[in-house]
Amino acid sequence: MSRRRDTATLPLPAVNNPADTFAIERGLMARGIRPVAGVDEAGRGPLAGPVVAACVILPPDCEYRIFRDSKITSEKERALLFQILHENGAVFGLGLASAQEIDRINILQASLLAMKRAALSCAEKNGALPACLLVDGTFPMPLNVAQQTLVRGESRSAAIAAASILAKVHRDRLMAELHEKYPRYGWLQNKGYPTRAHRDAIARFGPCPEHRMSFRGVQDFVNNTSNRRDEKT
């Protein structure tokens, strides 16, 4: 019986040129560790909506330089890159954790859960789990597969950068759909993040079922409402 290789016990390939954001993936594949996927999430900071994750296997011959951290690309650029990933042979899966799950298990665990769901979705399309997952951040997900965490992974791995773009685009589209149901909060513009307009809307109308009740910006409203009720009694 062969032993499952864990990249946590293997040194990452040397990256001589930091601008080569496909060096880690290329080096692992050269060792026979393939396919390699990147995993990232979007939506840890908002007061509302799900946290969304993506898991992406880039084709070995892809033009990796076009994939950058979603935080430094425009909405128009992200939409174009999303389309390129669809059309150029990338295998990917998406996963999310709802606002209710975030409240129940906390945002870190919910993010890891969304990542796990994305990896399993990717596995369904690929026919098996990737041989190695490059995970943005410092915490591996709860999944029995070789993983390597990378701090600031979007700037070090093209696969992680691609995952960040997919997750961001998908989440923005989900928030646009939720905006149609709850237009008072301006989610088409703020995507659920704690902008002044969003916080003012919570103060005026109260939270809705898509709000993360455990988050401070929402808790403040609940606490203030409770205090006002106590003053009246």
Contact in structure between 23 and 30 (CB atoms under 8 Å)? no
Residue 227 has pLDDT above 50, yes or no: no
Residues 159-169: tens digit of each pLDDT? 999 999 999 99
Long-range CB pairs of 151-155, under 8 A, 24+ apart, other chains included: 153/38, 153/40, 154/40, 154/68, 154/69, 154/70, 154/71, 155/21, 155/68, 155/69
For 92-104, how does the pLDDT look when each residue is reduced to its tens digit (9 = 90+)? 999 999 999 999 9
DSSP conformation letters of 130-196? -SEEEEESS---SSSS-EEEETTGGGT-HHHHHHHHHHHHHHHHHHHHHHHH-GGG-HHHHTT---H
pLDDT at 70: 64
Residue 51 has pLDDT above 70, yes or no: yes
Mean pLDDT of the chain: 88
Mean pLDDT of 34-40: 96
- For the stretch 181-205, pLDDT in tens is 999 999 999 999 999 999 999 999 9
Q: Is the pTM of this model over 0.85?
A: yes
pLDDT tens readout for residues 67-80 = 765 676 788 888 88
In which band, very low, low, confident or very high, does the pLDDT at 232 lie, cut at 50, 70 and 90? very low
Q: Residues 128, 144: contact at Cβ < 8 Å?
A: no
User: Rounded distance, CA 47 to CA 211, Å?
Assistant: 6
Spell out the domains of the chain, with CATH numbers in brackets: 7-180 (3.30.420.10), 184-232 (no CATH)
pLDDT bracket for residue 226 (50, 70, 90):
very low
The SS3 call for residue 88 is coil
Instruction: Work out the pLDDT band at 9, boundaries 50, 70, 90.
Output: very low
